[in-house]
A and B are shown apart, each in its own frame.
Chain A
């Protein structure tokens, strides 16, 4: 240690900027080198192994049935599934937080069931619901039983639909995905609502706002900051799970169509690679959307959405 300089300077002149030798990180450089070699090997393999069949892949991954499966299956199911999942999820979350034990119990049961049963099982189950009844009707509940009780016969149904026309494979697939999604969303929304300071609804109550107004104008917009990041994960998970609807069975769907091309031409591998590329592209689009949503709902918060640590991944470990 050197002695501090005792000769006082003439006035507090600005000290020279620090020019220190930075700490070396040889370990980092070694790992960078290793990664670079591995990456080079990977690219080399992609380019030289003709089993990849790049030209074949590009020719076939945009075929009309594939595009139809993408638009009318994968994308439509994801969009509708999320719309229904989020709306129903908000309802179930609000029910869950209700002081009425019947409402909150029902909501608990609902999330319990739809989170416990795997999506693939739900899809198969919904695909086979037509077995239960030939037709579905809308009318007075228990009409036949009531009629029996009074020894008369009457029909309390206003509307009857054939099971086969109501429960098309698409509807079955959508129901399976959307209902399970709503159970996950309910938990996410509930966590979001509970993250809002109770002082917020108190202040709104004191202003004379109604329960619905408080929820819509004060609590949910603030809960959104907590809700959106895991919802992004949910959307991505749902997008990928649309590949499961083949089990309903529903064949108008991206992965099924790509695989079908591969099986027909005995060139499955390039089509599997093209499936990876398709899902990568779709997920990237979703991530851009999520970025803008987070910015929108980060209003009034000092920390920007980008620098916030992303710890909200609970409920999407699939």
Chain B
């Protein structure tokens, strides 16, 4: 972790409501460059919502969010905030890869086409280059032989690895994972976690919403426990898991461990 550069993600008092339901009630968090932060918490505590705010899939109602020093979704001039245009929001999102619980691969494209799509359309990478790189990425997640396969013919674990390769193809500096293994059969969880572990070792900054406490302890640099839209506890994973400071953390961990 480089301490000299600013944090990759900084969140200050982030609030978010859906109608009358306040889902995020002031989130303060910092993720350093190269840090792997694991996010745990009961269902409905706002983990997914927070992740989606980071790449502006959701608009925050109050507070500030920075990724790589850039304010997410807005430009600040003096005291005033100006909404970014769609094009500028898209440009910010290119820096941030996201992996979904339900994979969300494009079903009408082969694995290779899924990975090539964004570099070709968004970054205007020449097709031959993009194809070569996509092939290499699929190879690196262990799917070199599934290049021409459509998602419907892949197992859940394979689909999720394609989804990771697809996000990596944009060469993001931050990766967001929203319960990447929750939709998988138990015997397929390991192959996806292995890919993520390698990514972490390569120095990728990652925020991982997960119920895999083992992964959090082994790979995570920090562990955050969220409940009811607030951060209840944050610390080194080993310490939080072994000796949670808060009663709510303790009772949650006792249920998932």
Please list the residues of chain A having a beta carbon within 8 angstroms of any beta carbon in chain B.
197, 199-200, 202-211, 213, 217-218, 221-222, 297, 299-302
Contact = CB atoms under 8 A, between A and B. Distances in A.
Contacts of A302: 152-153
Interface string B159-185: 000010011001000000000000000
Contacts of A197: 104
Interface residues of B, number: 32
B218 interface: no
A299 B151 CA distance: 11
B202 interface: no
Contacts of B102: 199
B121 A217 contact: yes
Contacts of B81: none
B87 A210 contact: yes
Given A206-B98, A301-B152, A200 B104 contact: yes
Nearest to A197: B104
A8 to B, nearest CB: 36
B76 interface: no
B150 A208 contact: no
Contact of A208 (B91, B100, B153): B91
Contacts of A301: 107, 152
Contacts of A204: 106
A222 B93 contact: no
B152 A203 contact: no
Contacts of B108: 221-222, 297, 299-300
A213 B57 contact: no
Most buried by A among B55, B96, B106, B152: B106
Contact of B90 (A199, A202, A209, A221): A209
B106 A206 contact: no
Given A200-B106, A202-B100, A301-B107, A209 B150 contact: no
13 contacts: A202-B57, A202-B104, A205-B90, A206-B93, A207-B93, A207-B122, A207-B167, A209-B90, A209-B118, A209-B122, A222-B106, A222-B107, A300-B109
B16 interface: no
B187 interface: no
A300 B152 contact: yes
Interface of B: 55, 57, 86-87, 90-91, 93-94, 96-98, 100, 102, 104-110, 117-118, 121-122, 150-153, 163, 166-167, 170
A213 to B, nearest CB: 5
Nearest to B121: A213
Given A202-B100, A213-B121, 12 more contacts: A202-B57, A203-B106, A203-B163, A204-B106, A206-B57, A206-B98, A207-B93, A207-B167, A209-B118, A210-B86, A222-B106, A222-B107
B107 A300 contact: yes
Scoring A199, A204, A297, A300 by chain B CB atoms within 10 A of each residue's CB, the highest score goes to: A300
A197 B57 CA distance: 16
Contact of B97 (A200, A206, A221): A206
Nearest to B176: A206
A302 to B, nearest CB: 5
A212 to B, nearest CB: 10
Given A199-B100, A221-B108, A300-B109, A211 B86 contact: yes
A200 B105 CA distance: 7
A222 B150 CA distance: 14
Nearest to A299: B108
Contacts of B150: 299-300
A208 B104 contact: no
Contacts of A218: 106
Contacts of A199: 100, 102, 104
Contacts of B97: 206
Nearest to A207: B118
